[in-house]
Amino acid sequence: MRPHTTSPGMRAALAALACVVALVIVGPWFSPYACDEIDFSGTWSAAPTLVHAHWFGTDSLGRDLFVRTLCGGRISLLVGAVSTLVSLLVGVACGAVAGYIGGRLDGLLMRIVDVLYALPFMFFVIVLMVLFGRHLLLMFVAIGAVNWLDMARVVRGQTLALRERDFIAAARLSGLSDLQIIRRHVVPNLFGLVAVYAAVTLPQVILIESFLSFLGLGVQAPATSWGALINDGAREMDVTPWSLLFPAAFLSVTLLLLNLLGEQLRARLSSRGGPAA
Amino acid sequence: MRRRALHCLVGCIAVLLPVCSSAAMDSLLRIGNGPEPESLDPQRMSSVSALNIARDLGEGLTRIAADGRVLPAAAQGWQIADGGRRYTFELRDHLHWSNGEALTASDFVDGLRRAVDPATGSPFAQLLSPIANADAITGGKAPVSMLAAWALSPTRLQILLKQPTPYFPSLLAHPVSFPVYGPALARYGRGFARPGRLVSNGAYQLVDWQVQAQVELRRNAHYWDDADTHIDRVQYLPTDDIASELQRYRANEIDVSSEIPLVQAPALRTQFGAQLHVAPYLGSYYYGFNVQQPPFAGRRDLRLALSLAIDRELIVDKVMNGLALPAYGWVPPGVADYRAQSPAWASWSRQKSVSEAKRLYAACGYSKDRPLRIELRYNTHDDHKRIATVIAAMWKQTLGVETSLINEENKVFLAQRRLRRITQVFRASWIGDYDDPSSFLDVLTARNGRNDMGWHDQTYDALIDSAAQQADPRRRAALLERAERRAVDDMPFIPIYWYVSKHLVKPRVRGWHDNLLDVHYSKDLRLDDPAD
Amino acid sequence: MLAFALRRLFAALPTLFVLLTLAFFMMRAAPGGPFDSERSLPPQIEAALRSEYQLDAPLWRQYLNYVEAVLHGDLGPSFQYEGYRVSELIAAGLPVSLALGVCALLLALLVGGAIGVLAARRPGSVLDHLLMNLALLGVSVPNYVVAPLLILLFAIVLGCLPAGGWRHRDYADMVLPVVALALPQIAYIARLLRASLIDALAMPYLRTARAKGLPEHLLIFRHALRPALLPVISHLGPATAGLMTGSVVVEQIFGIPGLGRYFVQAALNRDYTLVLGVVLLYGALILAFNFVVDLLYGALDPRLRRT
């Protein structure tokens, strides 16, 4: 195995991503405005200016776009992170159990996965959002619950391969139960694969959230997300281009970085000769 | 191979060219029509977009003129007898269906009977409740043959009302009272309102309907006033997305837009000038209180405080970009022979309103440390979101009210609102069906299914009932005005703005007149240059 | 081969059945009904409507009725579009969606493939970096940002293409929607193909071929492309699903009468039968497409043929 080196591309992507995350988290504190504050005395739909500290301008309700873009980023990243986590947990658990235990359970779980694959995904999410209302937590679950399928399949395949390896056989001989083996030996060996998939899933999830916002099924106002901001901005594009420009730039750059990162991770994983997907 | 494809293409163009040029001889009006119509069956439709098409396809005994007055249409005139309760309509001579068959008074009776029959399931059945026995029939307590509408002769029609209803002729302009062509209904049942099946009696007939793509009408040569109909073809195009509709208008793909995007209003005003038609529309946008549950049950002062805290001028000016009028009462201004009522505080200065709102709020036992916490529900729509956001901010800034905005998908929202359990404050709007205050005031009666506030006031109901018995228009108006004042004083709702109709109309479309009901018949329009 | 196809078909039927059941009960669990509107209906009229559409029976009865009707090939009447059968609406919307989807997929394969090959020829070159960064951007910009920009540019500023709508046999109407739909897939396919092509070119036998002086284009098109296409083929399944989702946005923005728009509006209007009909169709399409992908996969990779 080659020593752990990170390529310059990966380091740059990581650093830039860290910058975006840091900006999104601390940025709003530097602005005199709050996220949902309407500046009744100020100009609405004002162009970006330094004078009133409206660095990105204001939206059509007189709210500061700089703060809103960053607050929206918090939500988008949060939805992305939590939903990815949900899909990872479900996917890894399901895939590892199915792959390791095999037999009937494997058949059943994979059958479920097949059925869910044939379910038009957007139908699922739309109905969930309608049923449960616009609760942020439920959105995580809804999006995550849909995205675990790929994960489960890949993990299962990998586990099938792992099951034949010597150290698993050794663990079995030493009297560990199936669940213990899965937890202590199978899951840790899936980390590389999971990291790659997480990096691939994250941008997808962020896009799904923005798609929901487009349908009007996104986060509850006055909270916002990049998707919601872009949707508003696209509507006002020819009047106030900045209301589209800034959120779209943030979203696109973040997705770009995440995609880059995913690609680098995958390249590293396959070049290390580790568990190939 | 490639050459052959090219030949084919050239051949196609050569074949199509003469077709195109002959088609261009017909004048074609393309109308952006908002959402896809759910039905073209005049008795079953409910949406504005369907009604727009229905008024081109069919014709009632009366119609709405371009300036909003009621004019004779299929009827050439009518007499009123028995203290305003008995109407006798005289039909025009030689009326025909679009297939050339004669159109008689009994076809109109059939239409009215079909509308009130509960088995039809007409969303507008209640519009015809002024006709004697109509309510009993709709309620399933009497057979449809009991409806007090009779064909005296092929050209004479008599209708008996249960009480004098001065606006009755305008109800007959509504598609729900249009005649039906019996043979098509008998043959095709529910599916009769389709191209190739629908036989209509209006200035146009249906030639094509591609769901979600277009409805196309062509002039009806058998229409009595065909000689005075100018446009040959009319296309109604569904435009769900207002921003896209605007782009299609700009790209010259539609002649009349159904709406304009609010956020673009200022820019559009300068860009399009006279092409932008904005006029008062018979509709009210309001927030309702659930007055059967805490915290608003029996607390008129709290409701008033919340209402006073809203700066309507600012909402109209900045959120609506001038595409609305600030509202203070229940019945929109401009309704015929009626003085819309507004409360005394409507003319107060902003400071005075705010300080009074603060006083009332404190008197109700709320303060900075003990703020009122409420939920404000609205159905998914960008404009509703914007208004709710601003109003919540106003409540927060002036009173310190903690409002959670809850955006619900439309059907969920309606179901919750009707249940009146968890709903506290909700967005609502009401669009009048005809030009009379009763179209609005009836909503607030205890028996009305649309009274989602749950506001029940016996005095109010009594006033409405006695107004209905009143034949004298002036006394009737006075009673209705008293009723409205009572409702406005008790504040079961917060009026926010009156709607305006907003269309972009190409300069080549002539004869477009804005009116309160936003009713436009293609028959009244003409086009400058048919080719464009 | 035939046995394989038949086995897959039989495996698909229970899946569709489960899908239908799931969708039926989820739809019914959603609050609100098809006849709720701003205007309230008198109780007798609502009762008449409910019995007309057989909504007054117990839910399990309705479910059994529906399943029976579907087994007889009847998807029921639409609640939203008066007098239309669901099958009629699907028959109207499916060709539109298919035309859009197939064109977008072909465009994505062609353009994405071309870009992928171009970039893979000189990995690390300026062209490669440029193309790949463009492709990354393509993946990262959502459909509904691209679509209005395309309209602004081509319909308003240049005025050479229609801004929306769908006229019969007017191909100009298709251009912008197809491009908007295809863009993310172009980008994805380009990246996928580039990566696998580079891997393939690094294979020992191709290195030998190159050393022997085989021209570059022969090397790529005759030898490397075939194995390199495998990941692209396996991406076609998710790509179709992506196109379906994307079509909701694109159909809405361009005003196109396709299934995606039907679906969203039907779900919002509680048009139960239309929703179920579209779900069933989508499910069948996805299954069928996965099947085709498997066949293609087998054809391209002989090692898999035995399974």
- Closest alpha carbon to B175 in B205, B147, B200, B212: B200
Which pLDDT score is estimated for A272? 52
HSE of B44, CA atoms in CB hemisphere, 13 A: 23
Phi, psi of C165 (to 5 degrees): 95, 175
CA distance B397 to chain A (A): 10
Q: Are C264 and A215 an interchain contact pair (Cβ–Cβ within 8 Å)?
A: yes
CA distances from C164 to B199, C80, C108, C153, C156 (A): 31, 24, 21, 13, 11
CB contact under 8 A, C83 and B41: yes
Question: Tokens for C83?
Answer: 């007098």
8 A C-beta contact, residue B256 and residue B248: no
> Of the given ranges (A52-61, B38-47, B238-247), which has the lowest mean pLDDT?
A52-61
Cross-chain Cβ contact C162/B239 below 8 Å: no
Cβ within 8 Å, pair B386-A238:
no
* Alpha-carbon gap, residue C196 to C203, rounded angstroms: 11
CB nearest to C136's CB, from A211, A230, A259? A259
Q: Is C42 on the interface with B (CB under 8 A)?
A: yes
Are A127 and C267 in contact (CB < 8 Å)? yes
Looking at beta carbons, which residues of chain C come within 8 Å of A238?
A: 152
> What residues in A contact B261, CB-CB < 8 Å?
235
Q: Which residue has the higher pLDDT, A111 or B496?
A: B496
Q: What distance in Å separates the CA atoms of residue A16 and residue B493, rounded to the nearest whole number?
A: 52
Cβ separation A252–C137 shorter than 8 A: yes
Task: With a cut of 60, say whether residue B499 has pLDDT above it.
Answer: yes
Q: In one letter, which amino acid is B317?
A: D
Query: What pLDDT does C301 receive?
Result: 67
Whether pLDDT at C68 is above 70: yes
Nearest Cα residue to C86 out of C275, C219, C296: C275
> Smallest Cβ distance to B407: which of A61, A134, A238?
A134
Mean pLDDT, residues C97-102 taken together:
88
Mean pLDDT of C100-122: 89
Is the CB of C159 inside 8 Å of chain B's CB atoms? yes
Q: Does B433 touch chain C (CB under 8 A)?
A: no
Q: In this model, does residue B204 exceed pLDDT 90?
A: yes
B95, B103 Cβ separation under 8 angstroms: yes
Q: What is the pLDDT of residues A251-269, one digit of tens each?
A: 888 888 888 888 777 777 7
Mutate one of C21, C22, C144, C192 to test the A interface: name it (highest A CB count within 10 A): C144
List the one residue out of B520, B65, B33, B500 whose CA is nearest residue B278: B500
Cα separation, B145 vs B147, in Å, equals: 5
In CATH terms, A11-19+56-272 corresponds, of 1.10.1040.10, 3.50.50.60, 1.10.3720.10, 3.30.530.20, to 1.10.3720.10
Confidence of residue A5 (pLDDT cuts 50, 70, 90): low
Q: Which residues are CB-neighbours of B13 under 8 A, at least 6 positions away? A: none
Q: Which pLDDT belongs to residue B154?
A: 94
Q: Please tell me the predicted confidence (pLDDT) of residue A181.
A: 82
**A7 contacts chain B (CB < 8 A):** no
Residue C211 has pLDDT above 50, yes or no: yes
Q: Is A172 within 8 Å of A181 (Cβ atoms)?
A: yes
Contact status of B407 with chain C (Cβ, < 8 Å): no
Rounded distance between C-alpha atoms, residue B130 and residue B128, angstroms: 5
- Residue C206, pLDDT > 90, answer no
Residue C142 contacts A, CB cutoff 8 Å:
yes
Residue with the bigger pLDDT between A196 and C107: it is C107
Q: Are strands B425-431 and B373-379 parallel, antiparallel or unpaired?
A: parallel
pLDDT band at A132 (very low <50, low <70, confident <90, very high): low
Task: Identify the CA nearest to A225 among candidates A49, A77, A25.
Answer: A77
Residue holding tokens 């660095």? A55
Mean pLDDT, chain B, whole residue set: 90
- The one-letter amino acid code at B163 reads Q
Residue A131: the pLDDT is 67
pLDDT category, B374, cuts 50, 70, 90? very high
Instruction: Determine the pLDDT at residue A242.
Output: 85
Q: What percent of chain B has pLDDT over 90?
A: 71
On the question of pLDDT at B18 being above 50, the answer is no
Average pLDDT of every residue of chain A: 80
pTM (2 decimals)? 0.85
Per-residue pLDDT at A6: 64
Does C116 reach chain A within 8 Å, measured CB to CB? Answer: no
| Structure confidence at residue C169 (pLDDT) | 60
Q: What is the mean pLDDT of residues B408-429?
A: 88
Are A44 and A24 a contacting pair, CB within 8 Å?
no
Q: Could you give the percent of chain A with pLDDT greater than 70?
A: 91
Residues B122-139: what's their mean pLDDT? 92
| C162 closest CB neighbour out of B120, B253, B409 | B253
**pLDDT tens for residues C296-307?**
777 776 665 444
Tell me the nearest-neighbour CA distance from A271 into chain B, angstroms: 47
Contact B240 C252 (CB under 8 A): yes
- Specify burial of residue B515 (Cβ count, 10 A radius: 0-12, 13-18, 19+): buried
Q: Read off the pLDDT band of B320 (50, 70, 90).
A: very high
Lowest mean pLDDT among A210-219, C125-134, C179-188: A210-219
B contact residues 332-391, partner C, Cβ 8 Å cutoff: none
Interface contact B264-A37, CB threshold 8 A:
no
* Buried/exposed code over C102-117 (b: 16+ C-beta within 10 A; e: otherwise): ebbbebbbebbbebbb
Q: Percentage of chain B with pLDDT > 70?
A: 95
Q: Which of A10-19, B1-10, B182-191, B339-348 has the lowest mean pLDDT?
A: B1-10
Facing A122 at nearest CB: one of C26, C245, C290: C245
Q: Bridge-partner residues for B325, per DSSP?
A: B498
* Inter-residue contact A238 to C152 (CB < 8 Å): yes
What is the pLDDT of chain C when averaged over all its residues?
Answer: 82
Q: A222 preceded by cis ω (within 30°)?
A: yes
DSSP letters spanning B80-138: EETTTTEEEEEEPSS-B-TTS-B--HHHHHHHHHHHH-TTTT-TTGGGGTTBTTHHHHH
Dist. CA B197–CA B202, nearest whole Å: 15
Instruction: Assess contact for B163 and B469: CB atoms under 8 A.
Output: yes
Cα R_g (chain C), whole angstroms: 24
Q: Is the pLDDT of residue B187 over 80?
A: yes
CA distance B155 to B105: 5
> Quick one: pLDDT at residue B71?
93
Residue in the block written with tokens 């669940």:
A179
Q: Helix, strand, coil proportions of chain A in percent (round to 5)? A: 75, 0, 25
Determine the residue of chain B that is closest to A63 in CA distance.
B390
Distance CA B152, CA B156 (A): 5
**Residues in chain A closer than 8 A to C152 (CB atoms):** 237-238
Beta bridge partners of A64: A58
Residue range C230-249: mean pLDDT, rounded: 78
SS3 state at C200: helix
Q: Residue B274 has what pLDDT?
A: 92
- Whether the per-residue pLDDT at B350 is higher than 60: the answer is yes
Work out the percent of chain C whose per-residue pLDDT is above 90. Answer: 8
Q: Which residue has the higher pLDDT, B10 or A240?
A: A240
User: ∠ at Cα B480 (B474, B485), nearest 5°?
Assistant: 125
Count of C-beta atoms within a 10 Å radius of residue A130: 25
C268: chain A residues, CB-CB within 8 Å: 130
Tell me the sheet residues that pair with B115: none
Please tell me if residue A160 touches chain C, with a CB cutoff of 8 Å: no
**Tell me, what's the pLDDT at B354?**
94
What distance in Å separates the CA atoms of residue A131 and residue C30, rounded to the nearest whole number?
5
Contacts with C166 from chain B: Cβ below 8 Å: 210, 213
pLDDT band at residue B455 under the 50/70/90 scheme = very high
Contacts of residue A123 in chain C, CB cutoff 8 Å? 23, 263, 267, 275, 278-279, 282
How many residue pairs bridge chain A and chain C with CB atoms within 8 Å of each other?
98
The per-residue pLDDT for A271 is: 62
Are residues B406 and A217, on separate chains, in Cβ contact within 8 Å? no
pLDDT > 70 fraction of chain C, expressed in percent and rounded: 96
Q: Which of residues 116-155 of C touch B (CB under 8 A)?
A: 148, 151-152, 155
Question: Residue ranges of the domains in chain C?
Answer: 95-267
**Which chain B residues are within 8 Å of C150, Cβ to Cβ?**
none
- With CA atoms as reference, the chain C residue closest to A217 would be C268
What per-residue confidence (pLDDT) applies to B12? 43
- A252·C279 Cβ contact <8 A: no
Q: Which residue has the higher pLDDT, C135 or A273?
A: C135
Mean pLDDT computed over B35-61 = 93
CA B174 to chain centre: 10
- Which candidate from A221, A236, A239 shows the least CB-CB separation from B389? A221
pLDDT for A275? 41
Say yes or no to pLDDT of B8 above 50: no
User: Which of A62, A220, A235 is the closest to B261 by Cβ?
Assistant: A235
Interface probe with C: pick from A115, A119, A123, most Cβ of C within 10 Å: A123
Higher pLDDT, B530 or C255: C255
pLDDT value of residue B11: 43
pLDDT at C237: 74
Is the CB of residue A245 less than 8 Å from the CB of residue A233? yes
If you compute the radius of gyration of chain B from its CA atoms, what whole number of angstroms results?
25
Give the distance from residue B273's alpha carbon to the nearest chain A alpha carbon, in angstroms.
Answer: 17
Q: What is the CATH number of domain C95-267?
A: 1.10.3720.10
Cβ <8 Å between B264 and A236: yes
d(CA B309, CA B301): 12
Q: What's the gap in Å between the CA of B220 and the closest CA on chain C? A: 23
A95, pLDDT greater than 60: yes
Instruction: Please tell me the distance from the alpha carbon of residue B387 to that of residue B262, in angstroms, as a whole number.
Output: 12
Q: Please check whether residue B267 touches A, CB under 8 A.
A: yes
At B14 the pLDDT is 42
Residue B56 burial by Cβ neighbours in a 10 Å radius (0-12, 13-18, 19+): buried
User: Exposure string (b/e) for B341-380, b if CB count within 10 Å is 16 or more?
Assistant: bbbeeeeeeeeebbebbbebbeebebeeeebbebebbbbb
Tokens coding B356:
């009074």
* Higher-confidence position of C8 and B97: B97
A40 touches chain C (CB under 8 A): no
Reply yes or no on whether the pLDDT at A3 is more than 90. Answer: no
**What pLDDT is stored for residue C168 in this prediction?**
60
